[in-house]
Structure 1
Amino acid sequence: MAGHKTLDDLFASGPVDGKKALLRADLNVPMKDGKVSDATRLTRLVPTIKDLAQKGAKVLILSHFDRPKGKRVPEMSLAPVAAALGDLMGHDVAFAVDCIGDAAEAAINALPNGGVLVLENTRFYLGEEKNDPDFAAALASLGDIYVNDAFSAAHRAHASTEGVARLLPSYAGRAMEAELTALEKALGNPVRPVVAIVGGAKVSTKLDLLGNLIPKVDTIVIGGGMANTFLAAKGLEVGKSLCEHDLKDTAKDIMSKAEKAGCRILLPVDVVVAPEFKAHAPATTVSVDAVPEDQMILDVGPESLAVLSGHFESAKTVVWNGPFGAFEIPPFDNGTNTAARQVGMLTKMGELVSVAGGGDTVAALNNAGAADDFSYVSTAGGAFLEWLEGKPLPGVAALEKAKA
């Protein structure tokens, strides 16, 4: 994408041997019993670290972890994550007990060219989340160049994501570059037709997203609990299902705006119902106009999946956010699993570009065994959602306006 520089631009500008590269990563990874339980974010960071280290740069990694609120909380130290990153890379990764000041500088001075150092949790300082100029300057003083490889933190205007980028020559890392490229293909300049899948529990959490998608895509597939609100808005009974009845008028307005924009809203035509939200609860498939009052909708039915299949086959781009039903428990994972596997298969066949992300989406696609078949699956969560909503991302904007 235009507007920011990449590592290729950095390397083309001259040697980086001996230069101190401040690398903003997202090391806020899941932990269990003091160990990293999901290293996906660390794995995606490795190419950028290797590129910089192999060129002789000192790689100085900045990251937040959890919410210490400006206090030094031992349980929120990045030391265990640094050790896990070292295991992943197959060599020692140094650790500094602070992210600014004498301790950080001493650790940097002791680091050889090509070495990797994780600096302590930036959120141990209140200045991080406040984007305090003095704290940003203290961070920037440690480095010669700045590389942001943390798209998942790009929606926050913090000192280490936004402030530093304005003080040093700044570049997008490999993971950031890949994410921005995928997003451009998905909505910036997509190959049409574009199908957007928007699932989740509540319409109220997806209003901005739907408003942004309507003029940009050809079809919006509404799934999950939020589909029930749209069905109710059309005068259908949804039994005991999760439904925001107070937003029926809002749902009608969304459908009206979509019709005027030439964007098709696709709702289920049949659903899987059960008397309770419980694994292996007795399930029945019914038409959407025949939902019993003592049952709740927990998944889409086979006729809905057949309609959806036709849209996937004619699509060239699929953007996916949110599951179709209660994917966490069988048999109500069938709708999400079936649809995800078809999108993955069509992607592998070269028939479409598929980009997914946000919250439960990654877990749902992993549950279906289809995540690896998509063109790109974002682990960014909030940043991915804000991008879908059309909101500016401070961490990306800062790269585009960065110091030359």
Structure 2
Amino acid sequence: MPAAERRQSPVDGAVQEEESRRMKFAVKAWSKNGRARVGVLQLSSSSSCGHGGPPEKVIEIDTPALLLTTRKGLPAFIPPDHLSSLPDSRLLQFSPMHFMEGPNLKTISNIGGVHQLLGLHGYGFVALPRDSILSLPECNSSNKHGASFETPCGRFLVKPLEYMKMISSMKPDLWVSLADEVSASVSAKRNKVSVDRTIRWLDDCISLKSTDGALFGSIVGGCSIEDRQHCAQEVAKRNVSGYYIGGFGLGDSIDERSTLLHAVTDCLPKEKPRQVCGLGLPEEVLQGIAAGVDLFDSMYIYHLTLGGFALIFPLDVQCKHVSDPQLSAMASDHTKINLKATVYRKDASPIVDGCNCYTCQNHTKAYINHLLNVHEMLAQTLLEIHNTHHYLAFFCLIREAITEGKFEQLRQNFIESRRDHLLAASLSCMS
């Protein structure tokens, strides 16, 4: 009998009650005539209990929210003592696959999970197999037994039982069920297989899970509206606390993504949170929020930082980008600047005037340019602090716009401004 048709056992009821205590979500405001929404996600982290850690702590996250992408639980370049200086940065996302090279699961479990391992008790941890940076789905190597992932340690086939052992040892606050995520180029037959496997693995994860952490059910379906809707409808029948919309950022087109996102969220209950992976650009985030998505990853920040780029787009509802010939040469889309460029070698100004992040308050473009050119890792630290701070402020702006009924205005102004600058840059190159 399918899991969705089973009667709830006393054990299932106890698990559901424990999950509702550990995680609560409420929608506070909706956009005018739209699906964008502001909510509050509340986590009660108790993973440290019994291991000598601090008592249970309640963490509140305003949504739409940005999850900080990490490597083994910490951002790639931001040290732990700087995390508290970032606004609204209480959710850290990691992939259990990163820990395959050590420490081992038994050690992590004995320590008390990722909260105890990292000493970060005031933060919520979200575990999912894919992270879009170091743990990428390899659909051609996945099979009926498990999902395949490319990692820095090689390719791994992860079965539901092995995955659940990882989750039980790491004790995250939220975790995503194992999914067979495929690229946009696969055949219709392979796409349907990915949906069937993902639903089956969700049932396996539910049957194998303990009471630790709230479960987000994975939804896949590639570029097929019918497969996406079927998967969403099936997952919505299961006993899950929220939803993970997967399969994006794997060759799909931004033009067709809005239709796919709306098709999925139409099938999901409004009272539960939705997370998506693979939407990083500002316009992609706005597209996801317009469809009713609540949680996003920050892999965009990681890639910007590695490339030496700093975010500079304006943080107001008008979103009118500054017209500056110098910026046109360095960043044609007017959202970022390349601080490796020689034009910044003697620039004594901060990255963004008025920005109150640690980097802008203490350092100049010239200094970061120097650090980048001598390959000093402090450059990435300062850039990731600024980029994360700037993007978190962008999410704060979005929440305010939704509450004030100005979200569509913000979105249209941002997209139109980007389009105008891209057109101007292309005409400049042609002349």
TM over 0.5: no
TM bucket (normalised to shorter chain) is 0.3 to 0.5
Q: TM-score, normalised by structure 1?
A: 0.35
